[in-house]
Amino acid sequence: QKEVEQNSGPLSVPEGAIASLNCTYSDRGSQSFFWYRQYSGKSPELIMSIYSNGDKEDGRFTAQLNKASQYVSLLIRDSQPSDSATYLCAVNIIGGANNLFFGTGTRLTVIP
């Protein structure tokens, strides 16, 4: 059973639109949630972290967490071609080690 699931996409949106990326997780003990952006051939870059239910906004990015539904999402407003990348959802399941469980990622393409 997968710990973290994401729609693998690809997801295509026109420039200026809102991109919505979704992630579900299986372990109710999960306490920390992260979104990473990974450009092709590069390493993951942390763009958002969220720890409590609700919304967290940072510039054009909004992370949403619903622990009851075991669901976390990332909204990208005013999408730009430079946002084209793979977005990885990661969950920290507290149990001793600070090990992140990653989804397989959603490939986003923003069309100019």
Partner 1 sequence: DAGVTQSPTHLIKTRGQHVTLRCSPISGHKSVSWYQQVLGQGPQFIFQYYEKEERGRGNFPDRFSARQFPNYSSELNVNALLLGDSALYLCASSQGSVNEQFFGPGTRLTVL
Of 97 and 112, the one with the shorter C-beta distance to partner 1 is 97
Q: Give me the least distance between CB of 40 and partner 1, in Å please.
A: 11
Among 9, 27, 75, 102, binds partner 1 (CB under 8 A): 102
- Please give the C-alpha separations between residue 22 and each of 41, 42, 72, 75, 98, in angstroms, as whole numbers: 23, 22, 6, 9, 23
84, 66, 75, 91: which is closest to 5 by C-alpha? 91
* Site mask for partner 1 (CB under 8 A), range 7-36, x = bound: -------------------------x-x-x
Q: Are 50 and 65 in contact (CB under 8 A)?
A: yes
Q: In which region does residue 59 sit, left (phi positive, over 0), alpha (psi from -120 to 50) or beta (all else)? A: left
Residue 40 binds partner 1, judged by CB under 8 A: no
Residue 109 binds partner 1, judged by CB under 8 A: no
Applying CB under 8 A, which residues contact partner 1? 4, 32, 34, 36, 42-46, 49, 88, 90, 92, 94, 96-105
